[in-house]
């Protein structure tokens, strides 16, 4: 069965018909509610909070945020006008914004106490033009999300990665943005497996790596400390000047361009190899 994100972009896939079908399906309502409650458990919010709901759709998860005791205040962000129209018809309590999260998170720094995202992040890995890249879209999203959360804020993003490579690409993008990050997979190895990316601003310790002591219910979470390893590599390279045009210099430049969202040619065994000039 084809994945929805492989068929059409989200703003086209979730037209009026699909949006209504999605919202009225009792199966989807049950799954959405279960994942939203799981995300709230991982956030472990002790007080009423201002929450950003990324990919809020028709407000299924937002309705649960509003029904908490005491209720949270939330703002929803989604790229589908049809989904937001259904949310308005349902008279949800959150404020709604039409925006593409792959272009950033359009809110002032430190606005939110927390953020959730249910079944949305995998859409950021699909690009519709040669002018964009999945890496660039993920970078803009996580950079914007990091800035929009207050220091000490938290986010939980449930998503359906296509494979381990995509899962790693998403978590690495979050770490590069500055988050402390952990991956939690419920029902791993089954068709109902659900991946949760648990993020903290500032992390669970002074170095921003370990979050298992910050968020309750995190037993068994696979904490990704690759940012810390990368920092160690950077320290070991200090004072080493790469020769312009060398393979290392080219690779570093390509990484910098990719981080800015630009499309670069893939690396190969010929990258940085000197060419013989024939006369």
In the predicted structure, residue 279 carries a pLDDT above the cut 70? no
Strand partners, 218: none
In the predicted structure, residue 276 carries a pLDDT above the cut 70? no
pLDDT at 241: 56
- Residue 183 CA to chain centroid, in angstroms? 12
Average pLDDT for 225-232 = 45
More confident residue, 113 or 4: 113
Residue with tokens 């803009």: 140
Q: How far apart (Å, rounded) are the C-alpha atoms in residues 208 and 214?
A: 11
pLDDT at 208: 38
Q: How far apart (Å, rounded) are the C-alpha atoms in residues 49 and 150?
A: 11
pLDDT at 104: 94
SS3 of 278, please? coil
pLDDT at 272: 75
- DSSP for 76-143, please give it: EEES-HHHHHHHHHTT-SSEEEE--GGG---S-TT-EEEEEEES-GGGGG--SSTT--HHHHHHHHHH
More confident residue, 208 or 183: 183
- Quickly count: other Cβ atoms within 10 Å of residue 67's Cβ: 11
Q: How far apart (Å, rounded) are the C-alpha atoms in residues 33 and 21?
A: 16
Q: Do 20 and 89 form a contact (C-beta atoms < 8 A)?
A: no
CATH 3.40.50.1820 given to domain 4-238: no
In the predicted structure, residue 92 carries a pLDDT above the cut 80? yes
More confident residue, 216 or 150: 150
Q: How far apart (Å, rounded) are the C-alpha atoms in residues 255 and 237?
A: 16
In the predicted structure, residue 130 carries a pLDDT above the cut 50? yes
Mean pLDDT of all residues in the chain? 83
Residue 272 gets the label, from left (phi > 0), alpha (psi -120 to 50) or beta, of: left
Quickly state the pLDDT bin for 232 (edges 50, 70, 90): very low
Integer CA distances (angstroms), 256 to 89, 101, 124, 139, 237, in order: 45, 22, 20, 12, 17
| H-only helix segments in the chain | 10-13, 16-24, 26-43, 60-67, 81-89, 134-148, 164-176, 226-237, 247-259
The token pair that represents 227 in the structure block: 């940012």
Average pLDDT for 30-53 = 95
pTM over cut 0.85: no
pLDDT at 260: 58
Percent over 70 (pLDDT), the chain: 80
Domain boundaries, the chain: 4-238, 241-279
Strand partners, 52: 75, 115
Q: How far apart (Å, rounded) are the C-alpha atoms in residues 173 and 122?
A: 13
Structure confidence by residue, pLDDT tens digits, 148-195: 999 999 999 999 999 999 999 999 999 999 999 999 999 988 888 999
């Amino acid at each position: 069965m084809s994945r929805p994100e492989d068929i059409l972009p989200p703003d086209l896939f979730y037209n009026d018909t699909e949006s209504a079908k999605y919202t009225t399906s009792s199966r989807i309502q049950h799954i959405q509610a279960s994942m939203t409650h799981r995300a709230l458990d991982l956030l472990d919010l002790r007080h009423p909070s201002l929450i950003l709901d990324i990919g809020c759709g028709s407000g299924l998860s937002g309705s649960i945020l509003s029904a908490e005791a005491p209720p949270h205040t939330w703002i929803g962000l989604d790229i589908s006008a049809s989904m937001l129209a259904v949310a308005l018809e349902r008279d949800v309590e959150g404020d709604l914004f039409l925006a593409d999260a792959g272009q950033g998170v359009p809110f002032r720094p430190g606005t939110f106490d927390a953020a959730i995202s249910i079944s949305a992040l995998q859409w950021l890995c699909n690009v519709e033009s040669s002018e964009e890249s999945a890496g660039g879209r993920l970078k803009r999203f996580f950079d914007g999300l990091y800035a929009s959360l207050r220091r000490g804020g938290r986010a939980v993003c449930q998503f359906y990665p296509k494979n381990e490579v995509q899962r790693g690409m998403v978590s690495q993008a979050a770490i590069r943005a500055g988050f402390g990050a952990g991956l939690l997979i419920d029902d791993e190895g089954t068709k109902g497996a659900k991946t949760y990316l648990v993020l903290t601003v500032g992390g669970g310790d002074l170095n921003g790596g370990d979050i298992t002591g910050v968020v309750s219910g995190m037993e068994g979470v696979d904490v990704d400390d690759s940012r810390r390893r990368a920092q160690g590599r950077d320290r070991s390279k200090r004072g080493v000047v790469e020769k312009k045009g060398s393979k290392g210099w080219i690779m570093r430049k390509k990484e910098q361009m990719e981080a800015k969202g630009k499309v670069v040619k893939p690396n190969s065994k010929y990258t940085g190899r000197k060419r013989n000039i024939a006369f």
